[in-house]
Each structure stands twice: as structure tokens, then as C-alpha cells.
Amino acid sequence: MTENIVTIRSLSKIYQQGEINVTALNNISVDIRSGEFLTLMGPSGSGKSTLLHIIAGVDRPTSGECRVQGIDVARLNESQLADWRNQNVGFVFQTFNLIPVLTAYENVELPLLLTRLSRKQRRHQVNTALDLVGLGDRTHHLPRQLSGGQEQRVAIARALVTSPSLVVADEPTGNLDSHSAQEVLGILQTLSKTAGKTVIMVTHDPKAAAFGSRSIHLEKGELTN
């Protein structure tokens, strides 16, 4: 039986907007198995991105517990959390968020600057990651010289380069045409199926969700299935 990589119990997140409290997540409990390709679905404002951010350690819950690989990420301080993210989480964003002045190679290499790897070791990992997403021949291209789909594949390579156990993707196909979206989703699926990575993806699109191994739905901060 596959063990859980993420364990969430009674998780709530309340934002304070002026004098009004907005509940983004309300008493969520969910387990995510290692190697799973989980899709988070729901309408805008349902709390899916908030849940993703808490799992990835870029946001903190108001109450409850979120354990990733047994670590309660909310208890880590800012510096520990940064290290933890670097080693354990790969991020893929809707708008790619590549650094425009860096080449594809340099963008992928960026997270490795925080490690103690030698230049040679870094080169090996960057090239492996770029080959994995089929962009081994685009290493010296700047983001503006790439198509949207290629940019997102570079972003995936950047997410993978540190060999994280968890890849989180927030609407990764939201800015792509259907062909590029298929390619990106195919890569994420491969990561889960063959590389054993746990992929958690936020999406609105049922077709994109179909690539996942499991889907959970949120509405008004609560799980609906």
C-alpha cells in the first residue's frame, strides 16, 4: 500500500480583509498518496489555490495541520521553510514566471544556485531536466524566444531540477493553446506515472483534470466529494 505524502487534518484558512473575515478553507481533511496525480477543482474563490499554497509551504493555515512527508510545514520558520521548499517542492505557475533575462538553461539552473552542487553537477541536472521536457535543444533561448508551451515546459524543468518529491502546478495550462496544454499535461502525467512524483494540480478544466489519477472538488472552502 502506498504511503501518504500529504496529510491534512481540520485545516482552515481565514483571511482578514479589513474588519471582515473571509474563510478560504473550512475544516479540510484530506490525504494525498505518494506518486499520485491529484487535481484540485472548483470554481473561482473555492480555496483550491489556497490549499495548494499551504501544501507547498508558501502560505500558512489559520488552524489545523498540514503534514508533508511527516513534517508539519506550518511549524517551520521562514528560513527553514525556504530550504524545505527548495529541496521538496517544484512549482509550476499559470504564467510560467520565468526570469526574462535568463536563458532557458539559466532559468532551470536557478534553484540549484542554492545547493552545494558543483557547476558540472548542476549542468548535468539542468540538461537532464531540459531533456525530460523535450527542450534539450533550446537551452540558450531566452523566454521571449520560446512559445508559451515551451516556456511552460522550461518552468516544469525548473520545478524538477532539484528532484523534489512534490510538484505543485497552479493552472499550468491556463495560458496555453490546447496542443501545448496536452503536451504539458502529458509531461505532468509521466512524472507521476513513471518518475513517481506526486503532482498536485489546480485546474478549472475537466479535460485537464482527466489526466490526473484523482480529483477533489472544493466549493466555498469545503470539500464536496
Partner 1 sequence: MTVGTFILKNALRNKRRATLSVLSVAVSLFLLVTLLVALRELTLPPEDIGAALRVVVRNKVSLANPLPARQRAIIERIPGVEAVSPFTWFGGSFKNEELTTFAQFAMDPSKLRLLFSEFKMPDDQYEAFQKDMRACIIGKLTAEKYHLKIGDHIMLASTIYPVTLEFKIAGIYSGTIDDRNMLFHHKYFDEATGELGTVGMWWVKARSAEDMPRITAAINQTFANTSAEVRAETERAFQLSFISMWGNIKLLVGAICTVVVFTLVLVSASTMSMAIRERFRELAVLKALGFRRRELFAFILAESFALAIGGALLGAGGAYLLFTYGNISKMTNGIFITFEVTPKILGTAALVAAGLGIVASLAPALSVARTSVVTGLKTLD
What own/partner pairs with CB < 8 Å and gap ≥ 24 does 119-125 have?
125/161, 125/162, 125/163
State how beta strands 214-219 and 198-203 pair. Answer: unpaired
Q: Is 48 in the site for partner 1 (CB under 8 A)?
A: no
Of the residues 3, 31, 72, 83, which one makes contact with partner 1 according to CB under 8 A: 83
- How many residues touch partner 1 (CB under 8 A)? 28
Is 106 a binding residue for partner 1 by CB under 8 A? The answer is yes
Does position 59 interact with partner 1 (CB under 8 A)? The reply is yes
Query: Is 16 near partner 1 (CB under 8 A)?
Result: no
71 binds partner 1 (CB under 8 A): no
Stretch that binds partner 1, among 28-36, 85-93, 189-197, 214-222 (CB under 8 A): 85-93
Q: Which member of 111, 143, 149, 172 binds partner 1 (CB under 8 A)?
A: 111
**7-37 core/surface letters (b: 16 or more CB in 10 A; e: else):** bbeebbbeeeeeeeeeebbbebebebeebbb
169, β-bridge pairs:
92, 201
Using CB under 8 A, which of 14, 71, 76, 82 touches partner 1?
A: 82
- Residue 148 grid coordinates: 508559451
24 makes contact with partner 1 (CB under 8 A): no
In 3D space, the residue among 222, 224, 200, 203 whose CA is nearest the CA of residue 25 turns out to be 222
Is residue 22 within the footprint of partner 1 (CB under 8 A)? no
Contact residues for partner 1, defined by CB under 8 A: 53, 56, 58-59, 78-79, 82-83, 85-87, 91, 93, 95, 97, 99-102, 105-106, 109-111, 113-114, 158, 162
